[in-house]
């Protein structure tokens, strides 16, 4: 049976989050510069997006650049920003063909002007697409996002728009960058690292975590299918016991 045939289309994760890791090591293995790994990571992004659309996954969120990644050597940061600009402009066509709506989360105002503009342009162009929402987490960190949400809520309470007693988990969630998305049900990290690196700490409270040793530039839709098959074998208990789940 093919990988695709093993997947139950009625039990797909609505939201899949990915930590795309291992570009640098992939390049190093080949005796190349780290940037070569990032360039080849783009192919993995394209295939993963197409695989997600093929399955019918409605939300795909890719961790592309963390707040902490600003601390990398200046040359690498610049190369990543350049790659972002060229990739977004080149890939908009593929997004349109696949009916993918582009979205972004993170401290977008910290991106170079050209990057920000290119991103906004692609977001607007794809805004009518409905097959899948592809969110890029850029200059993103979860602690930043949570702190920003807390600040916004505090200002609303100060200005009398909100009572402190009205602050619930649901209300807090709507103040996060991901406010209009369901929480990820599945989170994949490539490269063999077993950590979250400041990604969606609030949203992954009950996500299934899937780790693969594949380096990101080698990741393809078949790897995504394998992760989904693994996800579908798991029992998600949400604090209850097996017998309580129908």
Per-residue x/- marks for ligand IPE, 78-107, CB under 6 A? Answer: --x---------------------------
Nearest to 190 by CA among 219, 222, 226: 219
DSSP of 79-94: HHHHHHHHHHHHHHHH
What span, in angstroms and rounded, lies between the C-alpha atoms of 12 and 107? 30
The window from 61-69, 143-151, 222-230, 235-243 that contacts ligand IPE (CB under 6 A) reads 61-69
Nearest residue to ligand IPE, scored by beta-carbon proximity:
24
What span, in angstroms and rounded, lies between the C-alpha atoms of 187 and 208? 6
Instruction: Give Cβ neighbours of residue 192 (< 8 Å, ≥ 6 apart).
Output: 22, 211, 212, 213
Indicate which single residue of 12, 17, 19, 21 sits in contact with Mg ion (rule: CB under 5 A): 21
Catalytic residue among 21, 98, 103, 177: 21
Active site residue 8: no
The window from 3-11, 20-28, 81-89, 231-239 that contacts ligand IPE (CB under 6 A) reads 20-28
What span, in angstroms and rounded, lies between the C-alpha atoms of 196 and 188? 10
- Residue 19 binds what, of ligand IPE, Mg ion, none (CB under 5 to 8 Å, by partner type)? ligand IPE
Active site residue 183: no
Catalytic residue among 23, 47, 69, 166: 69
């Amino acid at each position: 049976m093919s990988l695709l045939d093993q997947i139950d289309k009625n039990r797909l994760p609505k939201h899949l989050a990915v930590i795309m890791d291992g570009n640098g090591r992939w390049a190093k293995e080949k005796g190349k510069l780290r940037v070569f790994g990032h360039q080849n990571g783009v192919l993995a992004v394209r295939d993963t997006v197409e695989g997600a659309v093929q399955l019918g996954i409605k939300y795909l969120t890719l961790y592309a650049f963390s707040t902490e990644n600003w601390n990398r050597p200046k040359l690498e940061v610049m190369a990543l920003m350049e790659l972002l600009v060229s990739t977004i402009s080149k890939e908009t066509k593929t997004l349109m063909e696949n009916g993918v709506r582009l979205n972004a989360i993170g401290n977008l105002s910290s991106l170079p002007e050209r990057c920000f503009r290119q991103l906004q342009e692609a977001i607007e162009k794809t805004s009518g697409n409905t097959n899948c929402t592809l969110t890029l987490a850029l200059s993103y960190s979860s602690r930043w996002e949570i702190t920003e949400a807390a600040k916004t809520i505090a200002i609303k309470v100060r200005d009398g728009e909100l009572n402190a007693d009205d602050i619930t988990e649901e209300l807090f969630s709507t103040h996060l960058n991901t406010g209009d998305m369901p929480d990820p049900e599945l989170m994949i990290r490539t490269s063999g690292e077993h950590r979250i690196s400041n990604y969606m700490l609030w949203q992954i409270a009950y996500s299934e975590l899937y780790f693969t040793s594949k380096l990101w530039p080698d990741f393809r839709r078949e790897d995504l299918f394998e992760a989904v098959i693994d996800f579908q074998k798991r029992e998600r208990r949400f604090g209850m016991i097996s017998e309580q789940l129908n």
